Amino acid sequence: MHLFLVFILNIQACIMPNFESLPSTVPNFALHSKAYAIKGLVIYYRHSGMNGTRVERMSAMARPSSVFLIMAVHVAILISTSCGSISSEHSRKHVAFFIFGDSFLDAGNNNYINTTTLDQANFWPYGETYFRFPTGRFSDGRLISDFIAEHAKLPLIPPFLQPAGNPHYFNGVNFASAGAGALAETFQGAVIDLKTQLSYYKQVMTWLRSKLGNVGAKMMLSRAVYLFSIGTNDYMSLFLTNSTVLDTFSKSEYVGIVIGNLTTIIKDIYSRGGRKFGFINLPPVGCLPGIRTINPDNNGNCLEEASSLAKLHNQALSKLLQKLEKHLKGFKYSIFNLNISLRQRMNHPSKYGFKEGKGACCGTGKFRGVFSCGGKRLGKEFQLCENPKEYVFWDSYHLTERVHKQFADEMWGRANNTNSVVGPYNLRDLFQTL
C-alpha cells in the first residue's frame, strides 16, 4: 500500500509578526501538540491495492493512526522550521506603497472629510464599470495607483481615513485627496493638503515602529515606493476661483512656491528613510474639458495660460528631481510624463483605441465640460456615454479607467513607448530591482 498525503493548510496561523498578509503560496498552520492534532489541517490519503484506488478524507480533529501521526508531525515540524525563513525572505523582499496627491490618485479619503460634492465621487455613476458601486475614486473604475499595486502584486491600497476596526499598513497607505495641492491655500478647508497628508504618514510611521520595532520599520520605509501626483489644483484653482495670486506673483515665482512646498515634503520623507519616489507630472491643464469651456470666446480651444503654468511646473519638477538625485545619497526616482501621454491620446484617440479624445463621457455642455456628472454638483441634469472605454476623459477633469491602465502600464515599463515618457527608472525598477 502506498500512502500519499496532501496537506491543505490554514493560511492564517504562521503569518510572520512583521506582516499581516502573505502570498497564498506560503504554507501556514498551527500545531496543537498536547492534543496531537494539527489545527486547520485536512489530510487526504489514497490507498492503492488489489481492489483499486480510493481517496478518503480524514478530518483535522479525527484521531489519526500512529503512521499518520508520525508522518504528519514530521512534515509539520519541517514546515514550521522553514516558516521563519520563508517569512524572513518575504520581509526582505516586501515593498510597501505610499500614495500622496490629488484626485488622480484619491481612492476615497474625501469620503470621510467635511467637504462638498465638488471634491467627492461617492455617488453613481462613479465606479460603475469595475467596482459596480462608487468608491470615492474620480473615474468609472480603477486609478493608476490601483494598477501599479496590481503590477507590484499588492492588494488595493486603502485610503488612510477609511474606517477599519484593526487597521494595518504593511502594504502601504493612500493619503491622496481630490482637490489637494502642494499649497495649503489651494481649496483650503475642503481638501487634505499635502502637508496634512505628510502628517498622516508620520502617524503611520509611529504605528509601524510599534509593530516592527525601529529597525524593522526603517527597513520597510527605505524599501517602500512613494508615489506623488500633485500640483494640478494649485494652478487650476486660479481659473476656477476669483484668485488674484498672479497679480502678486509672476508665473515663474508662483511655480517656484509650489515646487518649494513639494521639495519640503520630499526631503522630509527622505530624512525619515524614504529612498524610492515616483512622480506624475501635470497634464495640459488648459485642455481639460472643464477648463476649455471657461472662456466662451475661446471656441473650445485649450486655455493656454493654464497649460503654460503646467509646462513651467513640469520643467521645474524635472530640474528639482535631477538636483535631488545628485545631492541626496540613495535617492532614486521615476517621473512619468503624463502631459505628453495625455496629449497623444487627446489628439490621436484612435491610435490608442479610443473614439473621443477631447470630450468627456459624463457631464453637460460643450465637451461635457460642465462638472455635473452624477447630478450632485453643478446641476441635476447630466449626460452619460454608453461606453466609457471609448473615451479618454471620464468627467470634466478626470480620466477613464482605460486611460489609467494604459498610463500605469507605461509607468511600470510594460508599454512600447515607455522609454519616451518615463525615466530615469520605471516603477518596476523601483519595486523589484532597487
Catalytic residues: 103, 395, 398
| Element of type H or E holding 237 | helix 232-240
Q: Provide CB contacts within 8 A for 326, sequence distance 6+.
A: none
Q: At how many degrees (to 10) do helices 401-412 and 144-151 cross?
A: 40
DSSP summary character for residue 155: P
What's the order of all strands across the beta sheet hosting 52-58?
5-8, 42-49, 52-58
Distance from C-alpha of 136 to C-alpha of 215, rounded to nearest angstrom: 35
175, 191 contact by CB (below 8 A): no
388, 137 contact by CB (below 8 A): no
Angle at the Cα of 159 (from 163 to 372), degrees rounded to 5? Answer: 105
For residue 52, the SS3 value is: strand
400, 393 contact by CB (below 8 A): yes
SS (H, E, C) 344-410: HHHHCHHHHCCCEEEEECEEECHHHCECCCCCCECECCCEECCCHHHEEECCCCCECHHHHHHHHHH
Distance from C-alpha of 429 to C-alpha of 427, rounded to nearest angstrom: 5
Query: What would the grid cell of residue 201 be?
Result: 504618514
